[in-house]
Amino acid sequence: MLDRTKDIAAFAQAWLDEFERTLGAPDGAGLDRLFLADSYWRDVLALSWNLQTIAGGDSIKGQLTTLAAKVAPSHFKIAPNRAPPRWVTRAGTNTIEVIFNFETALGRGSGIVRLAPDAADGDRLKAWTLLTALDELKGFEEQLGTSRPRGQAYSRDFRGPNWLDLRNASRDYADRDPAVLVVGGGQAGLAIAARLKQLNIDTLIVDREARIGDNWRKRYHALTLHNQVQVNHLPYMPFPPSWPTYILKDKLANWFEAYVDAMELNFWTGTEFEGGAYDDAKGNWTVTLRSADGGKRTMRPRHVVMATGVSGIANVPVIPTLDHFKGTLLHSSRYEDGETWTGKRAIVIGTGNSGHDIAQDLHSSGAEVTLVQRSPTLVTNIEPSAQLAYATYNEGTLEDNDLIATSMPTPLAKKTHMMLTEQSKELDKELLDGLRRVGFRLDFGEAGTGWQFKYLTRGGGYYFNVGCSNLLVEGAIKLRQFSDIEGFVTEGARMKDGTVLPADLVVLSTGYKTQEYLVRKLFGDGVADRVGPIWGFGDGLELRNMYARTRQPGLWFIAGSLAQCRINSKYLALQIKAIEEGILGREAGTA
């Protein structure tokens, strides 16, 4: 019987001790007594070398028994200097949340177990969720803090190259190829390159933009991040505490430049990745890079990491008769500033974040704007509603909160976001009612799972309201439905009622092509078919082909928000390190 007045740390360590004992028992005898029937285990490399989620007590017992025999997990202890065991509410369930450390034959890890009383077993504390995540490989620990390298000041060669000479030589790749080529220099590329740097893996980032950070700097003038600064740090270098809550695009772009310099990352700007082919026998790629002056370089890295993001190649749909329009036509990725359109008329097609922001920017510059909706869209106020998902990051350490985020299995994350969406609908009721009155079509995600799962499944389809929705409700920005457009004419859009909506500018805020499209373009049909779908969940509980080995050896994918890239770059880098050291097979499903 659970006594809530007792020290929950004692309960927690007792569970960990029994868990360790039963892992070593023949056939895992007794494991079934430690897990609720409806429970989840997420393993991130520590036991399985995969990112995987197992559901159900019986399935967990079977997998744990098999994998524990191979990697010998041990030393399960409540983690010192981290959030102590405590009662929390996760996905609507009151539970004891315990952060612990452990070891395996190959590495050291962290985990979280959430314990809840089993009413069918006398309120015995059992695991509702379990996370086991690899932190480091034994013998290949990162040199950080007290184990930092001594540097040249300790042992200088007065006649040899200094730090700058060595940095320039490292960056030039005049006499070598990198082990890892990272394609894309946004947050995904910087995060994985920084992690690999700390694991002593020679890594080069290439990006087609002329300047580090241009992937943010060159976006539309008014852009800011839509989540708060405490969620968005890059690995190893948190943003200064003086920074604003919502980071402006140019500020972030400049930080990327400073980050590359401070973290000593090798980065080639103005460099286009033209594709490559993999040599199974040699275990490397042959890739072609083209510089801004037209020069080409062939490299043979063992790994290619595609860090081009969820939003890569602009999706420009074929809209019949749009070529009849004789004004200016832009995709949202090419839109910069509304000042050019003062006193002009604009049509913005698409009602995601970019469409709304561009419409508001044009309106604030004195343009007459009509926003055209193609499909139902989720709308939520940026505060407080859109920030509810990040509530844990408002307290505690970044390290703890990242582990908490990692620990939530997809079904429970969906349940959490369904609850948050209902809360948001109540908080935003006045705004949502106003939008309905002007004909805006709303949705709240599949099964009401909200904006986060729209992002995880399709990369968009929502708007964080920073004022544009209010302008629609007031009529300051007009709203039309795409289904009401008969076609486009020289001077604008002809509606089905015979009227013409005049425009000098049409902006297509129609999103971006999938990553599969880019893979097929760069690597060919064989590789694209072998890898399969990227991003989204399919029938599984993990994002497809993200942050993990794929069926194409040496090809990796990383994308997402700054937080996703910060968290998952660690695990991607550990896999590459393990392959480089001969610990892990190159292809998904190999040991």
Q: Sheet with 345-349: list strands edge to edge.
A: 328-331, 505-508, 345-349, 368-373, 478-481
Phi, psi of 176 (to 5 degrees): -160, 170
* Confidence at residue 5, expressed as pLDDT on a 0 to 100 scale: 47
Q: Is 163 a residue whose pLDDT tops 60?
A: yes
* Confidence at residue 156, expressed as pLDDT on a 0 to 100 scale: 64
Q: Three-class SS string for 182-217? A: EECCCHHHHHHHHHHHHCCCCEEEECCCCCCCHHHH
* Tokens standing for residue 350: 């698409």
Q: What is the pLDDT confidence band of residue 143, given thresholds at 50, 70 and 90?
A: confident
pLDDT digit string, tens, across residues 219-238:
888 889 989 999 999 999 99
pLDDT digit string, tens, across residues 361-379:
999 999 999 999 999 999 9
- Is 433 buried (19+), middle (13-18) or exposed (0-12) by CB count in 10 A? exposed
Q: What is the dihedral of CA 174, 177, 181, 186, to 10 degrees?
A: -20
* Confidence at residue 170, expressed as pLDDT on a 0 to 100 scale: 94
CA 65 from centroid of its chain's CA atoms: 31
Q: Which of 184, 174, 247 is nearest to 213 (CA)?
A: 184
CA 100 from centroid of its chain's CA atoms: 25
Amino acid at 468: C
pLDDT digit string, tens, across residues 60-112:
999 999 999 999 999 999 999 999 999 999 999 999 999 999 999 999 999 99
Gap between the Cα atoms of 181 and 171, Å rounded: 13
User: What does the pLDDT average to over 515-519?
Assistant: 92
Q: Which of 362, 374, 354 is nearest to 511 (CA)?
A: 354
SS3 37: strand
* Confidence at residue 255, expressed as pLDDT on a 0 to 100 scale: 98
User: What does the pLDDT average to over 432-436?
Assistant: 98
SS3 588: coil
* Tokens standing for residue 319: 């809209």
Residue in the block written with tokens 């690597």: 523
* Confidence at residue 581, expressed as pLDDT on a 0 to 100 scale: 97
Gap between the Cα atoms of 365 and 340, Å rounded: 8
User: What does the pLDDT average to over 462-479?
Assistant: 97
Q: Is 154 a residue whose pLDDT tops 60?
A: no
Phi, psi of 531 (to 5 degrees): -70, -45
How far are the Cα atoms of 10, 78, 577 from residue 5, in angstroms, in the given order? 11, 19, 46
Q: What is the CA radius of gyration of the chain?
A: 26
Q: Is 3 a residue whose pLDDT tops 70?
A: no
* Confidence at residue 1, expressed as pLDDT on a 0 to 100 scale: 44
Domains of the chain: 8-137 (3.10.450.50), 163-312+513-580 (3.50.50.60), 322-508 (3.50.50.60)
CA 269 from centroid of its chain's CA atoms: 23
* Confidence at residue 584, expressed as pLDDT on a 0 to 100 scale: 95
Q: Which of 125, 66, 123, 132 is nearest to 103 (CA)?
A: 132
Q: Is 2 a residue whose pLDDT tops 60?
A: no
pLDDT digit string, tens, across residues 311-349:
568 889 999 999 999 999 999 989 988 999 999 999 999
SS3 4: coil
* Confidence at residue 26, expressed as pLDDT on a 0 to 100 scale: 83
pLDDT digit string, tens, across residues 22-56:
998 888 788 989 999 999 999 999 999 999 999 99
Residue 96: count of CB within 10 angstroms of its CB: 22
Q: 426 CB contacts (<8 Å, ≥6 apart)?
A: none
* Confidence at residue 79, expressed as pLDDT on a 0 to 100 scale: 97
How far are the Cα atoms of 277, 366, 376, 530, 544 from residue 550, in angstroms, in the given order? 15, 49, 34, 9, 9
Beta bridge partners of 101: 77, 110
Exposure b/e, 243-278, CB count within 10 A at least 16 = b = beeebebbbbbbbbeebbeebebbbbbebebebbeb
First to last CA, the chain: 42
* Confidence at residue 311, expressed as pLDDT on a 0 to 100 scale: 57
Task: Tell me if 512 sits within 8 A of 312, measured CB to CB.
Answer: yes
Residue in the block written with tokens 């457009």: 485
Across the chain, mean pLDDT equals 94
pTM to 2 decimal places = 0.94
Q: What is the pLDDT confidence band of residue 145, given thresholds at 50, 70 and 90?
A: confident
Compute the Cα dihedral for 293, 296, 301, 307 and give only its sign: positive
Q: Is 198 a residue whose pLDDT tops 80?
A: yes
